[in-house]
Amino acid sequence: MRRMLKLLPIRFLSAALIYLVAGITLGTLDALGYGSFKSVHSHLLAGAFFTLVIMGSMYQLLPTIIGAELKHRSLAEFQFILANLGFISLAYSFLSNYSFLKVAGLIAFISFILFAFEIFATALSVKDFYRRSLAIWFFLAAVVYLVVGSAYALAGVLGITSFSAARHAHILTLGFVAMTNFGGLYELFPMLSLKKLHSRRLGEVHFFIANIAAIGMFLGFPERGNLFILSSLLFLAGFYLFAYNLTRTYFSKSHGPEVEMDISARFMAYALAFGVAGVTAGFTSATLGFPGSFTHVHLILTGWVGLTIVGAMYHIVPMLTWLEKYSTKVGQEGVPLIQDLYNKPLAKALFITLNTTLALFAFSSLLPALSIFAVPLAIAFLVFAVEMLLVLGR
């Protein structure tokens, strides 16, 4: 385990899993009526967990995609410490009546600036980086949104500007998290399902649509007038285009012989269905008031983003563990296969449990009896977190 933590992406992913456990525990207690932890729950999950997973994944994926090394590795190591300090301070602030929020926000903001610098410096170190993959486009846009969204929140906390929680949440989730997810799926989904992306050109069109729509939506808060509705509709259209592109990819002919669909790709395929349901629910909630923001937020963040992350980690964590621990032993002694490092029946059980319980829990604001599914959903995420930590020790 200690050996694995020397790898920078693994350090980010491991820390993220700890925030996942903490965030889910508090969210479940809140859902079951044992306290009010909404702020800290949402910041531990949509903030710390998502952000650290994204940072760790970008530090791993970006150099792989563009064929380069990270530009300033020691800066990224320092940024890891600062980001954690920021998120722990933020969680503490939310649990203690927002005391310490200004300092916590500032620490987190500085770590985001360093992250953005590292990602841009690495990308720009390769001449034609933008040609290598569509994912790079989305990753760089996402990093800009991270800086803008956190600067906006910090300015609000410091009293420099007015603050809209919805605008802040959307810049970071729709800008930073969703753009990363788009990029990650355009890269990883075809790769893991052993297919070729149906159309890069459609993906490029989607990139422009998604960004124009996202900026329109940010500017449309908090009034939610015509600009907001039109931008939401545009974002929805872009998402459908994205879903169409990946669905065509999924059903296209494989490069080689047909093999059983990788568990990571399966998680991502189902995540996509939650994404389509989530953005549709977001639009109908904004225009018709149905099914409401709880359903929209949980379908998008827990379903689309959460399940994509689960899928990505089932690929990245065993792969890096195997390369670090077993690659030197090939030919000298028997070594396990990469897929032997995780428990396959457990992965399938988690796949079924996460998908079914989430599909039910997301509608608990309409039918309160469904909130009981928070328990198996939370347990499944906790088991996943423990399983990933165990993989690092295998």
Partner 1 sequence: METLDVRGLPHSERPQLILKKLEELGELEILVEVKPVPVITMLESKGYTCEAEQSQGVWRVKIRKKQG
Cα(301)–Cα(174) distance, integer angstroms: 10
Cα(129)–Cα(179) distance, integer angstroms: 18
Q: How far is the CB of 190 from partner 1 (least distance, A)?
A: 9
- Please state the separation of Cα 199 from the chain's center in Å: 23
Please say whether the beta carbons of 127 and 168 come within 8 A: no
Residue (of 324, 315, 314, 280) closest to 299 by Cα position: 280
Query: Of these, 23, 27, 47, 63, which contacts partner 1 (CB under 8 A)?
Result: 63
Cα(184)–Cα(167) distance, integer angstroms: 24
The helix or strand, by DSSP H or E, that contains position 31, with its residue range, turns out to be: helix 8-31
- Take residue 157 and report the two structure tokens written for it: 């906390």
Cα(44)–Cα(296) distance, integer angstroms: 19
Region binding partner 1 by CB under 8 A among candidate stretches 42-50, 56-64, 297-305, 376-384: 56-64
Task: Specify the residue, 45 or 134, whose C-beta has the smaller distance to partner 1.
Answer: 134
- DSSP letters of 197-257? -S-HHHHHHHHHHHHHHHHHHHHHTTTT-HHHHHHHHHHHHHHHHHHHHHHHHHTSPPSSS
Region binding partner 1 by CB under 8 A among candidate stretches 30-38, 64-72, 110-118, 274-282: 64-72
Q: How far is the CB of 8 from partner 1 (least distance, A)?
A: 12
Task: Specify the residue, 74 or 327, whose C-beta has the smaller distance to partner 1.
Answer: 327
Task: Specify the residue, 204 or 223, whose C-beta has the smaller distance to partner 1.
Answer: 204
Region binding partner 1 by CB under 8 A among candidate stretches 92-100, 188-196, 364-372, 385-393: 188-196
Residue 346 binds partner 1 (CB under 8 A)? no
Query: Of these, 81, 323, 346, 349, which contacts partner 1 (CB under 8 A)?
Result: 323
* Gap between the terminal Cα atoms of the chain: 8
Query: Of these, 59, 267, 304, 322, which contacts partner 1 (CB under 8 A)?
Result: 322
Region binding partner 1 by CB under 8 A among candidate stretches 16-24, 206-214, 290-298, 319-327: 319-327
- Take residue 37 and report the two structure tokens written for it: 């932890």
Residue 127 binds partner 1 (CB under 8 A)? no
Q: How far is the CB of 82 from partner 1 (least distance, A)?
A: 25
Query: Of these, 33, 159, 225, 331, which contacts partner 1 (CB under 8 A)?
Result: 331
Cα(37)–Cα(28) distance, integer angstroms: 9
Residue 67 binds partner 1 (CB under 8 A)? yes
Region binding partner 1 by CB under 8 A among candidate stretches 115-123, 283-291, 334-342, 366-374: 334-342
Query: Of these, 144, 194, 234, 243, which contacts partner 1 (CB under 8 A)?
Result: 194
Cα(335)–Cα(330) distance, integer angstroms: 6
Region binding partner 1 by CB under 8 A among candidate stretches 14-22, 88-96, 191-199, 213-221: 191-199
Please say whether the beta carbons of 55 and 114 come within 8 A: no
Task: Specify the residue, 196 or 248, whose C-beta has the smaller distance to partner 1.
Answer: 196
Please say whether the beta carbons of 309 and 280 come within 8 A: no
Secondary structure class of 2 (helix, strand, coil): coil
* Count of residues touching partner 1 (by CB under 8 A): 32
- Take residue 88 and report the two structure tokens written for it: 């722990």
Q: Which string of x and - marks every residue 235-274 that binds partner 1 (by CB under 8 A)? A: -------------------xxxx-x--x------------
Residue 134 binds partner 1 (CB under 8 A)? no
Give the torsion through C-alpha atoms of 320, 325, 327, 333, to 10 deg.
Answer: -150
In the complex, the residues that contact partner 1 under the rule CB under 8 A are 60, 63-65, 67-69, 133, 191-192, 194, 254-257, 259, 262, 315, 318-320, 322-324, 327-328, 330-331, 335, 337-339
